[in-house]
Amino acid sequence: MEKMLGFNPPMGWNSWNTFTWDINEELIRNVADCMVRDGYLEAGYEYVVIDDCWSLKERDAEGRLVPDPKKFPGGMKALADYIHEKGLKFGMYSCAGTHTCAGYPGSFEHEFQDAETFASWGVDFLKYDYCFKPRHMNGELLYKRMSLALKNCGRDILFSACNWGFDNVYQWVRESGAHMYRSTEDIRDNWESIKKIAVSQLDKECYTSTFCHNDMDMLTVGMHGGSNSSFIGSVGGCTDQEYKTHFSLWSMMGSPLIIGCDIRNTSQITKDILQNPEIIRINQDAESRGAYRLQAEPQWFNAEECFILVKVLTDGDIAIGLFNLSDGQKELAVQFWDMGIPSASNKGLSLFDCWDHKELGVFKERFTAVVPAHDCTVVRAKLV
Ligand code: GLA
């Protein structure tokens, strides 16, 4: 069966985190080349998304959006064709308000026209932001408008709503037709930001599922401070260990996986993190169930720094992440009883370590791991 649009968390690359305003067609082509050459497409990343700052500041005489000819001299259709020929999909960006966050024309009152323009260019994904929304307008209605416009534009376009978790978005976004929705403020390339976003989405697992995924924002994995925006990159990046934890959290919690680093210039470690097949498999599990949180044992640990995430998988396996976001090494324990496996059942769990890529053996009743500061252990567990 061919998967339907938005069935699993979308995966791809987006220009914003690293390049913000400084984008052009050569960059996008190079990124597309790299996605195929360096294994990203094979690992599951399919969307190449151009974020804000791609258009002229004014629409044309017919009211259409116009790509900036200095940045995109070949136009968007040719770029889309190039991306499609590589087996990738093409994403673009607009905004529910009168202007985008960077001050380019937004789609307010142009929703149907813009959807048709995007379709004519061969766009497959639209990120839809929330800046400059007229105050009297209801945001929910604006997302419903664009969703209808996209669903009726004659092309499958994945709808990525981006209102930063405002206006209780989780209560209405699924009905609006969006395939993913940003639940958080903009990520920054530092550990505090990653931790804050992850903790803000704990215990919200009922708000993510197939066809409407909780988007915790684009990944900063591998950026190491390399953004041209001082807002995103000011604190200078994270360690590889912290990026590994970031990737594990986003994957376990069912977020779309949208790369934000310059994949053309990354280390092997960054690649190994972003392309970890076992972690991606957990994220892309067919049923897209949210991960629930268990208190890490012993119980005196701060529950927002040391916790276990448990994600029930389609084939009966269980993904278990032991997270230590605190500043010191901890030995964390997960009690199988708390996941529905009583000792009386005489069942054990056969564990595969998804970062060390090795079998750990069969465990009964509990599993413990010594987890360094800002690190995690993620295992895939099979009942035996
Ligand atoms: C907002 C979004 C970001 C990015 C910028 C572009 O801040 O949340 O992800 O799209 O706008 O201006």
Q: How far is the CA of 186 from the centre of ligand 1 (A)?
A: 7
Cβ–ligand 1 contact at 78 (below 6 Å)? no
Tell me, what's the pLDDT at 236? 77
For residues 55 and 104, the answer to whether their CB atoms sit within 8 Å is yes
pLDDT digit string, tens, across residues 184-219: 999 999 999 999 999 999 999 999 999 999 999 999
Tell me, what's the pLDDT at 297? 80
Please report, to the nearest 10 degrees, the dihedral formed by the alpha carbons of residues 113, 116, 118, 120 taken in order.
-140
Q: How far is the CA of 153 from the centre of ligand 1 (A)?
A: 24
Cβ–ligand 1 contact at 109 (below 6 Å)? no
Q: Which helix (H) or strand (E) holds 306?
A: strand 306-312
Whole-angstrom distance, CA of residue 43 vs CA of residue 66: 33
Residue 66 CB contacts under 8 Å (≥ 6 apart), including other chains: 55, 56, 58, 59, 60
Tell me, what's the pLDDT at 282? 98
Tell me, what's the pLDDT at 1? 45
Q: What's the DSSP call for residue 212?
A: B
**β-bridge pairing 158-161 and 306-312:** unpaired
Cβ–ligand 1 contact at 52 (below 6 Å)? yes
Q: What phi, psi does 345 have (nearest 5°)?
A: -70, -15
Whole-angstrom distance, CA of residue 330 vs CA of residue 131: 42
For residues 113 and 153, the answer to whether their CB atoms sit within 8 Å is no
- Please identify every residue annotated as catalytic: 129, 186
Q: How far is the CA of 158 from the centre of ligand 1 (A)?
A: 18
Q: What phi, psi does 25 have (nearest 5°)?
A: -70, -30
Tell me, what's the pLDDT at 271? 98
Whole-angstrom distance, CA of residue 84 vs CA of residue 221: 26
Q: How far is CA 63 from CA 105, 108, 111, 117, 155, in A?
A: 10, 12, 11, 11, 21
Tell me the domains of the chain and their CATH numbers.
11-283 (3.20.20.70), 292-383 (2.60.40.1180)
Cβ–ligand 1 contact at 235 (below 6 Å)? no
Closest CA to 93 of 32, 151, 21: 21
Cβ–ligand 1 contact at 331 (below 6 Å)? no
Q: What's the DSSP call for residue 53?
A: S
For the CA of 218, the nearest atom of ligand 1: 9
For the CA of 186, the nearest atom of ligand 1: 8
Cβ–ligand 1 contact at 101 (below 6 Å)? yes
Cβ–ligand 1 contact at 229 (below 6 Å)? no
Q: How far is CA 100 from CA 52, 115, 231, 346, in A?
A: 7, 16, 17, 58
User: Block means of pLDDT (10 residues each) for the chain, length 384 residues?
Assistant: 84 98 98 98 98 98 98 98 98 98 98 98 98 95 98 97 97 97 97 97 95 98 93 86 98 98 97 98 98 90 94 98 97 96 96 98 97 98 98
Q: How far is CA 124 from CA 66, 115, 186, 297, 354, in A?
A: 18, 11, 23, 45, 32
Question: What is the chain's length?
Answer: 384
**Residue 108 CB burial class (10 angstroms; 0-12, 13-18, ≥19):** buried
Nearest CA to ligand 1 atom 12: 101
Nearest CA to ligand 1 atom 3: 186
Testing ligand 1's pocket by substitution, the residue of 100, 129, 181 carrying the most ligand atoms inside 8 A of its CB is 129
Q: Is 289 helix (H, G, I), strand (E, B) or coil?
A: coil
Nearest CA to ligand 1 atom 1: 101
Q: How far is CA 162 from the centre of its chain?
A: 12
The radius of gyration computed from the CA coordinates of the chain, to the nearest angstrom, equals 21
pTM: 0.97
Q: How far is CA 258 from CA 165, 216, 274, in A?
A: 18, 10, 10
